[in-house]
């Protein structure tokens, strides 16, 4: 057995154990046993870290070397999730919410993480996406697959609209503008009763369908029947994968680098010839796009939307996700979204303490580890040209020097 | 349009504006001294109202509410201001001081987190805190009727007390030693330090003053509307901040003017624009956004130049 196969097998094993752990945590009802499992995993990780120096780095390197296999196997594992929960759609529903929050957290990360534009009204984009689909589908009978891009487009337009005043202000003032934007959209969803149904909300929003097959029908696979939630689960899985790819590629691109430059110092970036207007507007529009897609899917899934689903505290929730995971770090953002959705669902008995928990999470993460649980690592800044031929050796040296530069 | 209606709305707007001003002053004080927007300030306002309610509860059975209402009122105000001032000092000492010098974004999110903790703490630990609480009438319900204009005693008290507080603040800042220290720190912190001013002490003092003023606003709100709720601090915090921005952050008089301006705009929008009362909050925010776009430095502030 050569090293490559060994690595692949151990990656599969690690992913499988983590997946089983997750399944165990969510399916065990008893808090004591559940806490025991979490404690066991944490102790195991700490023990391994102490016992074998550099184990984490080794595992990281292993995953880095076999990126493609690790990703594909992870997606395959996640695809089996509904089979384990076929009798209990509740956790499939939670998994869908996890997916939606991952998409939104990635979107907010484009604004706050990449471009450093504080946005405290992100739920507004979620709301606009949801209402766009809801109104188009119920009043005009358009299909979901047409509405999804339309919702995205609509939200991008609103992102531009929010971006326009945001061009003139920054820091605290920008926070104020975005809060005000969130509140204005919330008030409008309540007050425009003819269009949005007011506080009663918008009902009977149709589910997406492919041909004659509606997503509200149970998924019949011949050997087993999955609840209808599974349809949305697979839809969300595809969308999450797409969003992760898009977000990663944007933040690794020159645009991402430009946004980082704006975040670090706006004036200095401008001195380097960066077009602030264009880049900031695009940051808002791109970030908003994710929220709009998530909103449209949410509306189609639950079939009923009301202003109460899109309040200020939702904005804060998404913000605490990216803070917990690590600003500008895509794995961190995903981790934060997963953690902050599953933990409150698990401890549903303490639902009153939920928002308090978010507040404590925000304050403690900022006080004790303000770059998040999985912090953003250094940008590998390499030039892709001039790599072949006689300059190769010189270039590698050059790259190593440049990799040390902070983004 | 009837003239007396306009005057009536003017008085209502003055009352509303007094409360906004008391909150806005806190924002501008904090910003002046340590360049910080304290998003938890709205919650301090709410905390003041709840502490006031608890204090009133002590007098409920004794009948003093009817016989010595002025005394009760002042005890309530002082207790609320002292407790909230201490709360402000604790926030500064325990959470903001260790993070001093962190980026704007971090500080903003930190105070946001603190505000959530205070708000939810009141909801969870105050008995039946999730529901609105009735705030008893601390003032006899009479009113003066001048040519069809109704001027309630409560309104007179709210406006008068707010003006008194503003006057006291003016004296504090301009005539006393501590006020001069505050001004010195806001102009140049390092130079102030070199002159032997104990920066930490003055910053804590500023937080106590600002929070106490906010709490006074909270008690006013309670006795004027007779109803308080755990989440009322959020909106008033945003409005106080808006008022401070409109006036020019860092300028105390600007905050007061901004508070009254916001009060007028909201009141008149609600009263004279058809269907305006539904959009009362929206109009206030729309104006603030316009202000930020066209005159970000506010009414009273000079232009700040940015450096790389």
Angle CA A225–A226–A227, to nearest 5: 125
CA distance A175 to A120: 6
Tell which of A114, A121, A180 to mutate to test the B interface (max B CBs under 10 Å): A180
Which residues contact residue A317 at a Cβ distance below 8 angstroms, ignoring those fewer than 6 apart?
A: A101, A340, A358
Q: In the prediction, which pLDDT does B308 show?
A: 53
Which among A165, A265, A323 has CB closest to B289? A165
CB contact under 8 A, A356 and B112: no
For residue B39, give Cα distances in angstroms to A346, B113, B257.
Answer: 30, 9, 21
- ipTM for the predicted complex comes to 0.84
CB contact under 8 A, A169 and B241: no
Residues of B with CB under 8 A from a CB of A: 37, 95, 98-99, 102, 104-106, 108-110, 112-117, 119-121, 123-124, 130, 234, 238, 241-242, 245, 249, 278-279, 281-282, 285-286, 288-289, 292-293, 296, 306-308
Q: Is residue B81 part of a domain?
A: yes
Report pLDDT for A67: 81
Q: Which two tokens stand for residue A4?
A: 């490559």
Structure tokens at A300: 């189609």
pTM value surpassing 0.90: no
Q: Could you please report the per-residue DSSP string of A168-218?
A: T--THHHHHHHHHHHHHHHHHHHH-HHHH-GGG-B--PPPPEETTEETTS-
CA atoms within 13 A on the CB side of B212: 20
Domain that holds residue B75: 3-294
**Contact state of A183 with B281 under an 8 Å Cβ cutoff:** yes
How far, in Å, CA of B81 to CA of B88, rounded?
10
Q: Read off the CATH number of the domain in which B195 is found.
A: 1.10.3470
pLDDT tens for chain A, 407 residues long, are: 677 888 888 888 888 888 888 888 777 777 778 788 888 888 888 888 787 777 777 887 888 788 888 888 888 888 888 888 777 788 888 899 999 999 999 999 999 989 888 888 999 999 999 999 999 998 888 888 998 999 999 999 999 988 888 777 777 788 888 988 898 899 889 888 888 888 888 888 888 888 778 887 777 777 777 888 888 899 999 999 999 999 999 988 888 989 999 988 888 998 989 998 899 999 999 999 999 999 999 999 888 999 988 988 889 889 989 988 888 889 999 999 998 888 888 877 777 888 888 888 888 888 888 788 887 777 766 555 444 444 444 444 445 445 544 44
Q: Say which residue the tokens 């949410």 belong to.
A: A298
C-alpha distance from residue A296 to each of A106, B37, B180 (Å): 16, 35, 56
Cβ contact, residue pair A359, B117, below 8 Å: yes
| Other residues' Cβ atoms within 10 Å of the Cβ of residue B6 | 13
Q: What is the dihedral of CA B272, B276, B277, B281, to 10 degrees?
A: -120
Rounded Cα–Cα distance for residues B127 and A212 (Å): 54
Chain A CB contacts of B286 under 8 Å are 180, 184
Compare all CA atoms of chain B with the CA of A265 and give the residue at the minimum distance.
B308
Cα–Cα distance measured from residue B66 to residue A357, given in angstroms and rounded to the nearest whole number: 42
What is the gyration radius of the CA atoms in chain A, in angstroms?
22
- In this complex, the residue of B105, B112, B278 whose CB is nearest that of residue A362 is B112
**Beta carbons of B15 and B159 less than 8 angstroms apart:** yes
Q: Highest-confidence range of A390-404, B15-29, B138-152, by mean pLDDT?
A: B15-29
Place of tokens 């952050």: B249
- With beta carbons less than 8 A apart as the criterion, state whether A348 and B79 touch: no
DSSP single-letter state for residue A149: H
Return d(Cα A25, Cα A18) in angstroms, integer: 10
pLDDT at A334: 93
Left (φ > 0), alpha (ψ -120 to 50) or beta: where does B255 sit? alpha
Spatial separation of the C-alpha atoms in residues A182 and A286, rounded to whole Å: 17
Delimiting residues of CATH 1.10.3470 domain(s) in chain A: 91-376
Helix B3-34 to helix B199-225 angle (10° resolution) is 160
pLDDT in tens, B177-220: 998 998 888 888 889 899 999 999 999 999 999 999 999 999 99
Q: What angle, rounded to 10 degrees, do the helices at A3-27 and A55-65 form?
A: 110
Rounded Cα distance, A247 and A230, in Å: 25
Number of domains forming the structure of chain B: 1
| CB-based contact, A194 to chain B, within 8 Å | no
pLDDT given at position A389: 47
Tell whether B306 is covered by a domain.
Answer: no
Q: How many CB atoms lie within 10 A of CB B299?
A: 16
B223 CA to centre of own chain: 15
Chain B contact for A276 (CB, 8 A cutoff): no
| Candidate CATH numbers 1.10.3470, 3.40.1760, 2.60.120, 1.10.10; the one for domain A91-376 | 1.10.3470
Residue B107 lies in a domain: yes
Tokens of A224: 């087993």
Sort out which chain A residues have CB atoms less than 8 A from B97's CB and list them. none
User: Nearest residue of B to residue A178 by CA position?
Assistant: B289
Q: What is the 3-state secondary structure (H, E, C) of A41-110?
A: HHHHHHHHHHHCCCHHHHHHHHHHHCHHHHHHHHHHHHHCHHHHCCCCHHHHHHHHHHHHHHHHHHHHHH
Nearest CA in chain B to A165: B293
- Which site among A117, A362, A364, A369 would you substitute to test the B interface, given the most B Cβ atoms closer than 10 Å to its Cβ? A362
Of A96-105, A143-152, B41-50, B147-156, give the lowest mean pLDDT range.
B147-156
The residues with which B146 forms a beta bridge, in sequence order, are B149
Does the residue B308 lie in any domain?
Answer: no
């Amino acid at each position: 057995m050569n090293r490559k196969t060994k690595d692949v097998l151990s990656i599969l094993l690690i992913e499988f154990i983590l997946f089983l752990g997750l399944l165990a945590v969510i399916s065990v009802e008893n808090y004591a046993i559940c806490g025991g499992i979490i404690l066991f995993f944490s102790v195991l990780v700490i023990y391994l870290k102490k016992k074998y120096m550099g184990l984490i780095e080794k595992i990281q390197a292993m995953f880095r070397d076999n990126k493609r296999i690790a990703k594909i196997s992870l997606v395959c594992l996640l695809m089996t999730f509904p089979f384990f929960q076929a009798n209990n759609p509740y956790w499939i529903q939670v998994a869908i919410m996890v997916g939606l929050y991952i998409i939104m957290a990635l979107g907010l990360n484009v604004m706050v993480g990449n471009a450093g534009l504080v946005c405290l009204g992100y739920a507004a984009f979620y709301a606009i996406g949801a209402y766009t689909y809801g109104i188009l589908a119920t009043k005009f009978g358009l299909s979901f697959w047409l509405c999804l891009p339309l919702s995205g487009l609509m939200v991008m337009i609103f992102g531009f609209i929010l971006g326009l005043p945001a061009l003139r202000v920054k820091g605290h003032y920008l926070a104020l503008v975005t809060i005000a934007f969130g509140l204005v959209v919330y008030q409008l969803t309540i007050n425009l009763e003819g269009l949005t149904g007011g506080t009663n909300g918008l009902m009977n929003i149709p589910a997406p369908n492919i041909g004659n097959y509606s997503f509200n029908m149970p998924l019949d696979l011949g050997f087993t029947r999955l609840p209808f939630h599974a349809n949305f689960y697979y839809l969300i899985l595809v969308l999450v994968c797409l969003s992760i790819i898009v977000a990663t590629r944007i933040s690794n691109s020159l645009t991402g680098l430009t946004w980082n430059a704006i975040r670090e110092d706006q004036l200095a970036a401008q001195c380097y010839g960066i077009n602030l207007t264009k880049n900031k507007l695009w940051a808002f529009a791109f970030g908003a796009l994710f929220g709009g897609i998530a909103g449209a899917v949410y509306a189609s899934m639950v079939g009923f939307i009301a202003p109460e689903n899109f309040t200020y505290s939702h904005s804060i929730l998404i913000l605490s996700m990216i803070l917990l995971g690590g600003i500008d770090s895509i794995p961190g953002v995903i981790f934060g979204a997963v953690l902050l959705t599953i933990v409150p669902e698990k401890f549903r008995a303490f639902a009153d303490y939920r928002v308090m928990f978010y507040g404590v999470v925000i304050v403690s993460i900022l006080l004790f580890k303000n770059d998040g649980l999985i912090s953003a690592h250094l940008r590998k800044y390499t030039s892709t040209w001039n790599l072949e031929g006689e300059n190769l050796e010189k270039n590698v040296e050059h790259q190593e020097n440049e990799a040390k530069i902070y983004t | 349009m009837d003239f007396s209606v306009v005057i009536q709305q003017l008085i209502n707007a003055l009352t509303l504006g007094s409360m906004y001003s008391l909150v806005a002053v806190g924002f501008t004080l904090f910003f002046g001294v340590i360049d910080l927007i304290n998003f938890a300030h709205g919650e301090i306002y709410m905390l003041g109202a709840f502490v006031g309610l608890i204090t009133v509860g002590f007098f409920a059975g004794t009948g003093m509410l009817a016989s010595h209402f002025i005394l009760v009122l002042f005890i309530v105000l002082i207790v609320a201001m002292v407790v909230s001032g201490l709360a402000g000092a604790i926030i500064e000492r325990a959470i903001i001081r260790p993070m001093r010098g962190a980026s704007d974004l971090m500080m903003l999110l930190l105070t946001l987190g603190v505000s959530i903790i205070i708000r939810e703490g009141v909801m969870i630990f105050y008995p039946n805190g999730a529901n609105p609480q009735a705030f008893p009438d601390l003032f006899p319900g009479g009113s003066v009727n001048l040519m069809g204009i109704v001027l309630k005693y409560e309104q007179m008290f709210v406006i008068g007390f707010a003006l008194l507080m503003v006057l006291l603040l003016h004296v504090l800042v301009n005539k006393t030693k501590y006020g001069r220290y505050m001004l010195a720190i806001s102009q140049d912190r390092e130079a102030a330090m070199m002159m032997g001013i104990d920066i930490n002490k003055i910053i804590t003092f500023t937080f106590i003053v600002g929070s106490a003023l906010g709490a006074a606003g909270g008690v006013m709100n309670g006795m004027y509307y007779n109803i308080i709720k755990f989440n009322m601090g959020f909106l008033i915090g945003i409005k106080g901040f808006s008022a401070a921005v409109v006036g020019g952050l860092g300028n105390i008089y600007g905050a007061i003017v901004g508070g009254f301006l916001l009060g007028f705009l909201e009141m008149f929008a609600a009263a004279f624009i058809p269907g305006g009362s539904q959009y009362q909050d929206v109009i206030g925010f729309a104006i603030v956004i316009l202000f930020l776009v066209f005159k970000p430095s506010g009414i009273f502030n000079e232009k700040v130049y940015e450096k790389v």
